[in-house]
Amino acid sequence: MKLMLILLLIVPAMVLAGIVQGGPGDRIMGFAPGDTLIDTLIVTVRVPARIGLYVNGNTEFDLGSAAVVYPPGAFPGYYDPTLVGGTNVDGVDVEVFSNSQVMTWHLETSGSGDFSATIALDQLFYAPDGEPNPVDGNDPPGGNWVSFTTSYVEIANGTNTTGWQDESQDYVFQAETDDAPTPAAGENVTIYYRVYAQ
């Protein structure tokens, strides 16, 4: 009798037990005990396609510094920077960001013009960070050294960088026999870096 009474109480609960489902904004109801209520919602994430550029390192070549031997033993002579504003002691810090797996980013550089009437822009050379220095007396310098021009030149490209990608550049200045003395403050050019994706 007791068994029958227990079965009479359990069997209707089991028969009535079910899963009740709803969606966003639904107010669902069920029987307790017995029913299981499941409600759902949708989470959306939107990530835009982005590119980024970081450049740091105003650079100076002071050939009058006590630590520099000028004139060189052979012309043209090649000189490392004597002062940099970034962390790359041989040039500039350059980093690129892209999160697109389908678009290609392009990193390019150029210069504003000549330093002076006797010191040309193309006496400033750049190469990927870590490039060995040219040997004095060699013109052109060889290796991966490229002279700056007033036209943009591509120095790197790629797709998704998986974070900020290091594209830092080393600089050398090519001293030539006709370089006239500069004012005490020196002569300046502006170096441009640009990145775009397509």
The answer to whether the beta carbons of residues 50 and 92 sit under 8 Å apart is no
Place of tokens 């590119």: 51
The whole-angstrom separation of Cα 126 and Cα 158 is: 20
The whole-angstrom separation of Cα 89 and Cα 80 is: 9
The whole-angstrom separation of Cα 82 and Cα 80 is: 6
Sign of CA dihedral 84, 173, 143, 150: positive
The whole-angstrom separation of Cα 189 and Cα 134 is: 22
Mean pLDDT for the stretch of residues 32-59: 96
Task: Please give the model's pTM, rounded to 2 decimal places.
Answer: 0.84
Grade residue 8 by pLDDT with cuts at 50, 70 and 90: very low
The per-residue pLDDT of the chain, averaged, comes to 93
Give the residues across from 83 on adjacent strands: 60
**What pLDDT sits at residue 2?**
56
Three-state DSSP at 107 gives strand
Check pLDDT > 90 for residue 17: no
> Which residues have a Cβ under 8 Å from the Cβ of 53 and sit 6 or more positions away?
94, 95, 96, 97, 107, 193, 194, 195
Check pLDDT > 70 for residue 40: yes
Domains along the chain?
Answer: 2-39 (no CATH), 51-197 (2.60.40)
**pLDDT tens digits for 75-100?**
999 999 999 999 999 999 999 999 99
Other CB atoms within 10 A of residue 109 CB: 22
Check pLDDT > 90 for residue 58: yes
Check pLDDT > 50 for residue 13: no
Check pLDDT > 50 for residue 5: no
Mean pLDDT for the stretch of residues 112-138: 98
